[in-house]
Amino acid sequence: MLTGISKKELELISKLEFARKYFFTSADVDLISKNKTQRYNLTKNLLKKKRIVKLNRYKYYLVPIKARTGLWTEDSLIIADEMFDGKDYLIGGWAAANYYHLTEQIPMQTDIYTTKRQGKIVLFNHRYVFHRTTKEKTKRAVSKTIAGHTFKIIPKIEAKRWMKLR
């Protein structure tokens, strides 16, 4: 048994890992908790122990057990898609240029254009910068797949145009 993890926390982690459900909601925690208070305490303690990471108001990412020290990383494009549940966003900037192999430079941040948020957040030692945009612009996004996960990104021609301005 991992040190510092209670039986209930271990039960939750093992059920999610066995189902390979690394992105989960509080409804998944309800399956093993008796009430709202226990659900809140489970998620709060796992957040404090860095075994889960909060992506938005109701969605979390489970850091796998094989990450013994709690250090883990997931592809930033997948994290961005999960943050917005696949709706009303698109990825641009250096992350898009890197995805289309227009640059060899590894992006230090992921620029996400969305109708919902603005500001910055740091998850897994990677910065996500949210830019406000319109619904019409988010509809121009194309769907791509990486590691079996679909996400939305600006078209390649727009990424090329963006690179010429740099």
CA 3, CA 10: separation in Å to the nearest integer? Answer: 10
pTM given for the model: 0.78
67 assigned to some structural domain: no
49 assigned to some structural domain: yes
CA 58, CA 55: separation in Å to the nearest integer? Answer: 8
CA–CA distances in Å: residue 130 to residues 17, 51, 71, 85, 136 = 30, 25, 24, 15, 17
pLDDT at 90 over 80: yes
pLDDT > 90 in the chain, percent: 58
Q: How many domains does the chain have?
A: 2
Last residue of a domain, one of 62, 88, 108: 62
Q: Please, are residues 112 and 127 in contact by the beta-carbon 8 Å criterion? A: no
pLDDT digit string (tens) for 61-89?
998 776 655 555 678 899 999 999 889 99
Structure confidence at residue 1 (pLDDT):
41
Same domain, 157 and 80: yes
Same domain, 94 and 122: yes
Same domain, 36 and 94: no
Expressed as residue numbers, the domain containing 48 is 7-62
Same domain, 142 and 81: yes
51 assigned to some structural domain: yes
Nearest in space to 139 (alpha carbons), one of 154, 127, 125, 129: 154
20 assigned to some structural domain: yes
Same domain, 57 and 107: no
CATH number at residue 42: 1.10.10
Query: Residue 145: pLDDT band by 50, 70, 90 thresholds?
Result: very high
Mean pLDDT of 13-30: 91
2 assigned to some structural domain: no
Mean pLDDT of 44-59: 90
68 assigned to some structural domain: no
